Amino acid sequence: MEEKQPSKAQGSQGENIEQFGYKQELRRGMTLRDVVLYGVLFMVIIAPQSIYGEIQIASGGMTPLVYIVGFVAISFTALSYLRMSNRFPIAGSVYSYVQRGVNPHVGFIAGWLILLDYVFVPSLLLVMVANWGVALVPGSPWYLWVVVFVVFNTFVNIRGISMTKGVDWVIFIVEILAVIAFIAIGTSFVLGGGGAGQLTLDPIYQPGKVDAHFIATAVSIACLSFLGFDGMSTLAEETVKPEKTIGKGIIIALCIMVVVFVAQTYVAALIQPDVSQVSAEMGFFDAALLAGGPLLQKVLLVVNIVAVGIANIMNAQLASSRLLYSMGRDGVIPRFFGKVHPKFRTPWIASIALGCISLILPIFLDMTTLVAFVNFGALSSFILLNFAVFLFFFVKEKKRSSFGDYVKYLICPWLGIFILVYVFTGFDLQTYAVGVSWLVVGLIIGAVKSKGYKEVPEAFKHLEV
């Protein structure tokens, strides 16, 4: 099924979603600044602190280089999001983009796959926060941490974007101050003779150690570290001028993240340059202890709990509820997910459903299983997104008139696909088992809902094709 696109004049009116077969139900109000802030908080600027030790050991002491390589690798997929968000400024992220770029049925499969990421990532984050909480307050009930953060974040998401923005700014300031404090204290420690004793390039490049195996490891680890930028696209129907704001916001947020990731891991590597002494679990916090003592270490631990437990989980639930809303209004999943609160104009049923799921999953699934769900769902749907960009722009719209067109619609999408497929080959059997099982269930549901993949969502029935 091929959709006839709006004229150029219409296409510039990204807030007019009637052109795509929908009506405006969610409240608009997010600006470029808000979108970038959302993306930065979703990806968590202090994310390296919790996994630094593992990456530092796996990379032989070059964690900053890992993030640089990963940024380059994931940028091709980010550019595909930019292309699609410009053409289709509607909620639903990869579900909507593949739906419009390929066809509604493949779009459903893409949405079903990304649900693995969006629905399960809040539970993964909750498990992390609960573990940190018990470490911070020994003897405290593990599940109590889960309940408190689920209830708070669900309440804020139902109240709406305006309340979420206020909480986001508070958490953002706290994170920034924590990062600045660590970098300042850590740099002072190193220049004062501690750790490496001076600023060196060793954490960024060591001759003889960067080979094909290193690049493979770096791409596999760091691609997953930048997951979250895709959630920014789910805010299209709540954003002012989404056809320009969403794509630009994604690129700006990713650029901010790579700079902050590299800066803090570079300082941590200088504080403790001997990789053999780095702890896989507490590597970053041990560096904080060496440079700033127990106070800095505990402050960073608290900031991680607050940032992930509130900002990260809140924004993960926000993106997930918008995806369920988009799929629910199309009728490819139960339509009650598409219901909007009459006062707050938010997908409140989807938000409550996600809250309930997030209360249940941490009881039955461990971190390894949750990571398997998230990884398979995100990367497989990204592959479909990149293909959709190639098929829609390069094949269907025949955008091949310049070298720039070949770069944007042929080279970049296929580079994104090759990189993601390569990362895919490194997954373990459990990840494949979980992902393929989920895919099979999705294919069955899709066949039933579309009566053998013959019927399309209501929004497509009223469009000229």
Nearest to 243 by CA among 40, 2, 8, 1: 8
- Distance from C-alpha of 255 to C-alpha of 150, rounded to nearest angstrom: 30
pLDDT for 27: 74
pLDDT for 5: 45
pLDDT for 92: 67
Residue 239 φ/ψ, nearest 5 degrees: -115, 140
| Alpha-helical segments (H) within 226-312 | 242-271, 283-306
pLDDT for 163: 56
- Distance from C-alpha of 48 to C-alpha of 58, rounded to nearest angstrom: 14
pLDDT for 339: 87
- Distance from C-alpha of 341 to C-alpha of 321, rounded to nearest angstrom: 13
pLDDT for 189: 96
Q: Is the dihedral of CA 215, 221, 222, 228 positive or negative?
A: positive
The reported pTM is 0.80
Strand partners, 30: 239
pLDDT for 220: 66
pLDDT for 3: 43
pLDDT for 2: 43
Query: Can you spell out the DSSP letters for 206-228?
Result: -TTT-SHHHHHHHHHHHHHHTTT
pLDDT for 144: 93
Walk along the chain (465 residues) and give the pLDDT tens digit of each residue.
Answer: 444 444 443 443 556 676 666 677 677 878 898 889 888 877 888 888 878 888 888 888 899 998 998 888 889 999 999 999 888 888 767 888 898 899 888 988 988 898 888 788 888 888 888 887 887 788 999 999 999 999 988 888 888 666 566 677 788 888 899 999 999 999 999 999 998 899 999 999 888 887 776 776 666 666 667 877 877 887 888 788 888 899 899 999 999 999 999 999 999 999 999 988 888 778 898 999 999 999 998 899 889 888 888 877 877 787 788 878 878 887 778 888 888 888 878 888 988 998 899 999 998 888 777 877 787 888 899 999 999 999 999 999 999 999 999 999 999 999 999 988 888 877 778 888 888 998 999 899 888 888 888 887 765 655 443
Please compute, for residue 118, the number of CA atoms within 13 A of its CA located in the half-sphere on the CB side: 32
pLDDT for 439: 92
- Distance from C-alpha of 411 to C-alpha of 416, rounded to nearest angstrom: 9
Q: Is residue 239 helix, strand or coil?
A: strand
Q: Is residue 399 helix, strand or coil?
A: coil
- Distance from C-alpha of 335 to C-alpha of 327, rounded to nearest angstrom: 8
Residues sharing a CB contact under 8 Å with residue 403, sequence separation 6 or more, in sequence order: none
Q: What is the CA radius of gyration of the chain?
A: 22
Query: Can you spell out the DSSP letters for 44-61?
Result: -TTTHHHHHHHHHHHTTS
